[in-house]
Amino acid sequence: MMKKEKDIELDLNPEDPEKQLALGEEYLAGILVEPSGEDAFYWIKKAAEQEYAPAEFGLCCCYLYGIGTEIDNDEAFKWCLKSAKKGHGDAELTLGIFYINGDIVPKDVKKAIYWWTKASEHGNSVAQNNLGDCYRDGEGVKQDMNKAFELYQKSASQNYPIGQVNLGCCYSNGEGVEINEEKAFYWFQKAALLDEPLAQSHVGKCYETGFGVKQDIKEAIKWYKKAVKQDDPTALNQLGYYYINGIGVKKNAKKAFEYFSKVAAQGFPEGMTNLGKCYDYGEGTEKDIKKAFSLYLEAAKLGYDEAQYLVGMSYYEGIGTRKNISKSISWLEKAAEQGNGEAQFSLGNYYSGFEGVNDDPDQEQALFWFKKAAEQGHIGAQMASSVALLLGYGGQVDLELGFKYLDEISKSNEKAKKQVADLKKQLNNLLKK
């Protein structure tokens, strides 16, 4: 290899690994020298061969990303392990990533946790966050939200934005700590100011709903737009929702369609569903019910409950696909089991036999699903449940609950209040008989 002018500074102490690594990094970054991956690799390797831990990790990265040499995952792992065994935090973190992903070495969650624990103890903020995720999800360890919260605190205090987002979520959801809306907003905003798109979406949601801060749709839109610049799926979807409904912005179906298209391309099920609705109703694009059904089905397979409900209803009514009651009920049940009120109400209607689709009605099952939907405030289900409970359909009589549902309905609007008053009179007359 030809010696460069910059290399002369090593002549006084040619075997100083710290200077060798620094020179390699200068060649990598092009600082005072022409950038050269080959020269960077040469000097980093020289330093690593002297068992200098930072250089060993640097050499791991060269092999991992093909800097000045061919990609060699085996060599990357070898040098990463050497560095990690000397307590280099970034190497410990990276070993954990290797083991959790299982692409360079066989997946081993226990070993990932071992190395992340080491890195966390050495103050690595990313490892602290990753280890917090393991305790939050119970992956490889017993689930412990208190432990997760502690780790997120450590990570967040070092200004790691994802750790700050996760800490905000702990305060938002009451996980490992009591709910505190103001503290949740505080941590979301800190991460958002570090240009973390996930945090910017959270800040937008806080302004949208008045969570921990005064409600302000204009501020919500401002933060969503910041996140959209980095293609954050939540922000793309939410701005699409604003434009399709004209909330805080002038209604623009074409713009909404563009946002939903971008988020759907990322495999975000809610975005796929909203894009499906655009095709379903011809908003921002040509109406195409088959395309709509295809998008609903794709999102439904990813477990999104609203899409499962829409697939169920598409099969039920034969819209965008062939009518298939068996498939319809299967998808409606998937959505209903996730707490989708519309799916629960639809199942109640099916099992009641009122729509003439089911030749073998089951009033007990009908009441079960009507009550499930009614508990979520579904007015139609509350009405159906009240009638069933007052008249004993489905084998249950519960006058108190039946009239409670009617009282809930009457609070919705004046028209409903009058309808409920008339229904109460009719029911009272029937009960007297």
Cα separation, 90 vs 58, in Å, equals 10
pTM of the model: 0.83
CA within 13 Å, CB half, 27: 23
Count the residues in the chain.
433
Cα separation, 165 vs 173, in Å, equals 12
- The answer to whether the Cα torsion of 346, 352, 358, 361 is positive or negative is positive
**Which CATH superfamily, name and number, covers 1-86?**
Tetratricopeptide repeat domain (1.25.40.10)
Cα separation, 335 vs 376, in Å, equals 14
Q: What is the pLDDT of residues 172-228, one digit of tens each?
A: 999 999 999 999 999 999 999 999 999 999 999 999 999 999 999 999 999 999 999
- With a CB cutoff of 8 Å and minimum separation 6, the contacts of 148 are 132, 133, 135, 136, 166, 170, 175, 176
- With a CB cutoff of 8 Å and minimum separation 6, the contacts of 97 are 112, 130
| Residue-by-residue DSSP string for 139-187 | SSS---HHHHHHHHHHHHHTT-HHHHHHHHHHHHHTSSS---HHHHHHH
Q: What is the pLDDT of residues 34-68, one digit of tens each?
A: 899 999 999 999 999 999 999 999 999 999 999 99
Q: What are the tokens at 168?
A: 């905000």
What radius of gyration do the chain's Cα atoms show?
A: 30
pLDDT of residue 409: 75
pLDDT of residue 3: 45
**Equal CATH topology for 1-86 and 247-338:** yes
pLDDT surpassing 80 at residue 99: yes
**Boundaries of every domain in the chain:** 1-86, 247-338, 358-433
Q: What is the pLDDT of residues 315-334, one digit of tens each?
A: 999 999 999 999 999 999 99
Is the CATH number of domain 247-338 1.25.40.10? yes
Cα separation, 292 vs 284, in Å, equals 13
Q: Residue 171: which of 157, 152, 154 has the closest Cα?
A: 152
pLDDT surpassing 70 at residue 342: yes
Q: What are the tokens at 240?
A: 């699409």
pLDDT surpassing 80 at residue 400: no
Q: How far is CA 25 from CA 7, 58, 98, 255, in A?
A: 13, 9, 24, 45
Q: What are the tokens at 46?
A: 């020289």
Q: What are the tokens at 415?
A: 């028209």
Q: What angle (nearest 5°) sits at the alpha carbon of residue 163, between those of residues 159 and 169? A: 125
pLDDT of residue 413: 67
pLDDT surpassing 60 at residue 427: yes
